Amino acid sequence: MADYLAQRTRKIDASGIRKVFALADKLQNPVNFSIGQPDFDVPEPIKQAAVKAILDGLNRYSPTSGDARLLEKVRSKVRQETGWEEPLCMITSGVSGGLLLAFMALVDPGDEVILIDPYFVIYKHVVNLLGGKCVFVDSYPDFRLPVEKIAQAVTARTKMIILNSPANPTGTVYTEEEVRAVAQIACRHNLILLSDEIYDVFSYDHPNPCVGRFYEKTLLLKGFSKSAAMTGWRMGYAACTKALAPLMEAMNMIQQYTFVCAPTPFQIASIAALEFDIRPYVEQYRQKRDRLVEGLKGYYHLEKPGGAFYLFVQKPDWAASATEFVKTAIENNVLIIPGNVFSEKDTHFRISYAATEQTIDRGIEILRRLAKR
């Protein structure tokens, strides 16, 4: 690496997901199970709200914390979901933007952050970038929330615990009992709980329990990218109680000097997104999940996911690693992601079933064939 680059750049690597995206350009009509975004477009009423905002001239900076009308809608939603009387909220440039602001506001060199392995790829790399230490808590083989292991992982240097439910890459939806137990651990040690709930509407078998109901030092990060297919619009929000007011103030201050604000016309459109009924799309994804699970059952070891739109599948016995299997799958025109992108292990691979039924069926056929190799 060039010697003029900051040392911190050596602590991260190019995303393994992006590397697979690059491979997609070289394949003819691949079965693309790699990309983590809905296969439906932004619903028409939300697109029209964005167009109207642009035509109405709402194209300038908003306040750093967000447009007042959207903030009030978000506060109302957070009150309903958490029971918090006066939630503090800000609009962020996607949940990824909220994660960056939160980590920059919280993590000092040497601070420990507890991650449930497998984990969303950004967590590890941003903690490393800031000089923090990731403490990985293994959730294999069933990907349930490992409460006792989390309790044992806490040290004097622990700053926060990160929860992600429904989870990327496993699709696991935690139970209220599991979430409450982790909240008790955080309370006992006066830790911050960061809850990434970007997939919360995609919960198929039971509602996703909001940890904010059980612990006041919870930072909630949610957004519109998945529920409204607005991945390119970069719209999210952060919420907390007054117990974390200094954190919200710090995140707003950092936003002033980085993102400045989330895109104004898309903030206006997000009001329409909050009012849009996404349930028909969620039902379609429940059916996609069931189609894929049934199609691969008996060919691979897998845990049926409760939410999001991912399946985290164990590699077949013939493959030395998941990375080796993924290379073979790509040679057979199926794009999947090796598990070591999301984990300290290389035993599983991620399938995104945000795809058409025809694509899912094509993928099932090829993956069944590869399982027998």
Going residue by residue through the chain, which has 373 residues, state the pLDDT in tens, using 9 for 90 and above: 678 988 888 888 765 566 666 666 677 889 999 988 999 999 999 999 999 999 999 999 999 999 999 999 999 999 999 999 999 999 999 999 999 999 999 999 999 999 999 999 999 999 999 999 999 999 999 999 999 999 999 999 999 999 999 999 999 999 999 999 999 999 999 999 999 999 999 999 999 999 999 999 999 999 999 999 999 999 999 999 999 999 999 999 999 999 999 999 999 999 999 999 999 999 999 999 999 999 999 999 999 999 999 999 999 999 999 999 999 999 999 999 999 999 999 999 999 999 999 999 999 999 999 998 7
Burial 25-42 (b: 16+ CB within 10 A, else e): eeeeebbbbbbbebbeeb
- pLDDT score for 8: 86
Which 8-state DSSP code applies to residue 43? Answer: P
Token digits of residue 50: 């964005």
- pLDDT score for 170: 98
CATH 3.40.640.10 intervals, the chain: 44-275
Token digits of residue 311: 């399946």
The class of domain 44-275 in CATH terms is: alpha beta
Secondary structure in 3-state letters for 190-239 = CCEEEEECCCCCCECCCCCCCHHHCCCCEEEEEECCCCCCCHHHCCEEEE
- pLDDT score for 10: 83
CA–CA gap between residue 316 and residue 372 (Å, rounded): 8
- pLDDT score for 3: 84
- pLDDT score for 23: 65
Tell me which residue of 289, 342, 350 sits closest to 314, measured CA to CA: 350
- pLDDT score for 13: 76
- pLDDT score for 113: 98
What pTM did the predictor assign?
0.94
- pLDDT score for 256: 97
Tell me which residue of 93, 100, 96, 97 sits closest to 264, measured CA to CA: 93
CATH fold of 7-42+278-371, please? Answer: Aspartate Aminotransferase, domain 1 (3.90.1150)
CA–CA gap between residue 51 and residue 66 (Å, rounded): 19
CATH 3.90.1150.10 intervals, the chain: 7-42+278-371
